[in-house]
Structures are given as structure tokens and as C-alpha cells.
Chain A
Amino acid sequence: MSGWFMEARSRLALLALVLLANVLVAPGFLELRLVDGRLFGGIIDILNRGAPVMLLAVGMAPVIATRGIDLSVGAVMAIAGAVAAATVNAGHAWPVAVMAALGTGLACGLWNGVLVTIFRMQPIVATLILMVAGRGIAQMITEGRVLTFTDDGLAGVSSASLLGLPLPVLIALAAAIITGLLVRATALGLFIEAVGTSPRAARLAGVPAPGILIGVYVWSGLMAALAGLIAAADIRGADANNAGLWLELDAILAVVIGGTSLYGGRFSIGLSVLGALILQGMRTCILRSGLPPELNLLLMALVIALVLVVQSPACQPAIARLTARLTRKGTA
């Protein structure tokens, strides 16, 4: 745990900086108010808005740890949202719609996993297929329109709250904790990292590599479906053209900010979630800053570049020296 905290230090510091920027932009950002048994405040907003990317990052981190990548998650979000909306509009109850959406996510993940594992396609190519085709599938389901629904149960996936927290936050945190326990309380995480380091060595060491590989893509599909449900419930409609658009890149970025190597073999669920929160914190800050919207993308890119440069191996020795000097001065 303390090892995790040592590694999390720099990201927590980053998150603190981002929150500070938010406070400067909108004083009162840190205030928490309890209205009708539900918490309101800037932190809650970031957790709530960041929930979809948090979920995607939780699914993406194990995939990347196997030296893979899942580009299809944004499209899977769109499909899952479309399936859920179409199901309630066909007169089924909302739990059926949720199940149908999650089932769709599992099926999409299985498709990716089979392409990568059985057909030995490179992950970037295999998942690119569903990234492109998936949005088309979603558009077919919604017939190219925003498929709106009035079912309060399904909308509740985004608007309901429990223990004072919005449901999307709880879903994302629960998914992160369950995934974290699955990979760290068992040997599963080591297996995943072994497959990413060397599939052949892992197989020879008795790791069920094909099962692990399929499993991480299926899990990623399931997380994407959850994110898609939240996105659809948020606007009470399935927007096949825009739901989850480019979010696969945000998820990959969150995982990378979390220190997971794209070369596989090393990952952290908790740090990936922190990465997602840092990204959302920056986005919220920029949206509320009142700066001209033409600067949105530029600011975002500059901050991300800065974060990644600071975390790069080239900068690490210099930062270690700096912190060592600071702590020496502090103790002297």
C-alpha cells in the first residue's frame, strides 16, 4: 500500500494542482452542500462527469498491460447506449435494457478478444475494426437520430443517487475497486503482466495466456457498456454519432498518465483512475474559466504535454535530485 502511495504521490500532487486551478477559476469550488440527501459541489461534478472515462480507463489498463490496446471502447459506448434506448422504447423494463446493453458490451469485448487471441491480429488493427464499424452499428440501431427515451428507470443510471453520491460515481468507484481486487488480491494481475511481458514465457510458465487475453478485452467491453449506459442516461437519449466520440483516446491518456507502459507488463487500476480524474479536472477548469473556447484544445494539449514530460524517464533523475535537495533543505 505504501508502495502504491509512493507511486501515486506525483499524480496526487497533479490532481491537487488541477483542483487548485479550479478554485482559482471558480471560488467556492471546494464547497460541498447536501441538498435533498445528495451532495453537490465541484469535486462531485468532476467525479460525476469523469465517471465514463474512469470506467473506460479501468477496462483499458489491463488491456494495455498485455501489450494490447482497445480502440473500440468509444464505439462500444455508442452501441450499448443505442441498445439500451431501443430496448426501453420497445416497451421492455429498464433492467432488461441495462442487461441488454451490458450483454452487448460483453459480446463486443469477446469479438475483440477472439480477433486478438485466436486470429492473432494486432490489437490496434483488431479493435480499429469495431471502432469504425461499431459507430455504424449504433447508427443503424438509432436510424441516425438521437433516440430519446422517457423511461425514468434508465435515466436514473445517471441521475439517481445513493449515500449522497450520484450513481455514475458509485458505479465507476465500484468497478475500480472490484477490478483492483480481482487483479491484486489474486494472481490475476501478475498473470496479466506476465502475458504482457512475454506471452511465450507466460505460456511456458503455465499462465493460461489465451484465456487471460480474451478476458481483458471482454472486461474492457463490459466497462465501455457501463460508460455508454451512463452517457445515454445523462442526456436521456442515445446519440450514436457523438456518444463516446474520441473517448478511447482519453481513456488511453488516463492510463498513460497513471504510469502504465504502452509496452505492457505493468499497470495500476488506481493510478489510471487518478489519471482520468486529472483529465476531467482540467476539462472542467477550462470550461469554467471563461477563456475563449478557441483555446480549449490548445490548453488541454499543453498541460498534458507538460504532465507527460515531467513523468518521462529523461526527467525522472532531475526530479529525484530536486526532491532530494528539497527534503535535505527541509530537514537541515
Chain B
Amino acid sequence: MNIGLDVGSTTAKIVLLDKSKIIRSKVVSSHNWKELLDTNTDEHIIVSTGYFRRKVPHSAAITEITAASLGVRYYVPDAQVIVDIGGQDTKVIDLRNNRFMINDKCSAGTGAFLELAAHYFNIPIESLGKLHSRTQRSAQINNTCGVFAISEMISQLVAGYTIEEVIHGIHEAFAHRIAQMIPPTNQVVLIGGTVLNTGIVNSMETILDSTIVVPPEPQMINAIGAALYREIRSYSKS
């Protein structure tokens, strides 16, 4: 039995893996990560990842990049490029040549940007995808700065666009921002909690010339990767 514990900036996830089979998985908010572990959980079977990986019980702590690379292969063995859209940063991992890029200096291509937009409209972030799907028309948002994009959203509302059309535009701006980081490829695997927003997936599909793959439970991939890490390590040592 192996446990992958992914405590990120926004949510904490746990995956219990037995002989490469997922036995249990759960998500809570980051600050409640203790709820994920039983009092008798053996620390020696935990591999942690995420921002708080060294702050939680673990036998090994691995970065989200390694965790994502291992976790994605669980569902997509022939994965080429991974785009992990997190709360605070976005990571692009090219598995073909072990190269990766992280965008964390600016909120424009991260979950934080969408939170900012949802907060402005006073709607739950989970409803962004639904509102996106209600229209095909999009208000153009050019700004790559998350904060200035909000001013642009306001201007577009003033110009007569609906909230749905502005949200459509935000998702497209978001997708354009991330697309700049993606190397040429014919397949992209999207992971991370933000990918649960179908508006983002839809916009990425429109913008990229690649097949978009979203694995089941995309927010759990890094926890799966962390759990697999121990299996891979013990296999390579035996």
C-alpha cells in the first residue's frame, strides 16, 4: 500500500494505491489536510508533493513536476506534453525530452486569475464553465495582466457584452496565455483543479492544434504520481 499526499496552495488531495490500483481518494481544502490522514497512518508509506510537501508527514517529498509526470502516465501512458494548471502557477512538462516551464510570476495563466474574475462577478468559481457554455460569442480580453484584465472586463460590460460573453473572453485570454508556453506537439494532457472548468478545456481545444486529453479526476493526478513514486523506486531497487 502506498499513499500519495498532494498539499497544494488551494487544496489537499490523498490517493491510496495498492499494487497500482486506486483504493481511495479524497480532496479537502489545503488547511484541512490533517483530515485526510487517520491517526494510525504509517508515515513510511506516504510520499508528499505540492507546495506544503515538506510540512506534512512523508517518507519522501517530490516536486509537483515529477509527481505530474508519473501520475499522468497512469492514465495516459503515451503522454507527450502535460499542462498542470494550479492555483498559483501553471507548469508545462514536455515528457519527450524532460523539459518543463513554470509560469509563476504573473497570475494571468493560473487558477488565481479565474478566482479573481469569479470574485468580481460574485459567483462561485465552479459556475464559470456553465456560464461559458451558454454562449459562442466572446468579449475580447487582450490584457495579459490579471489585474488589468479585470478593468478590461468592466470596459467590455460597459460596451454591452453579457457576463457570459465576458467569461468566454476570459477563458480564451487564459488559454492564449498558457498556449504560449506549450511546445509544438500533437497531444496535450491537461491536469489540475482548474481543468474541471470546462470553459478552459473548451478554449484550449479551440486555440491549440493538438488533441486535448483530460484524464479522470485531473486534480488527483499529482497525488497519484506521488503514490506511484514509491512503487517505482522500490521496483527499480529490487
Answer yes or no: do A and B interact.
Answer: no
Q: Which residues of B contact A (CB under 8 A)?
A: none
Q: Which residues of A contact B (CB under 8 A)?
A: none
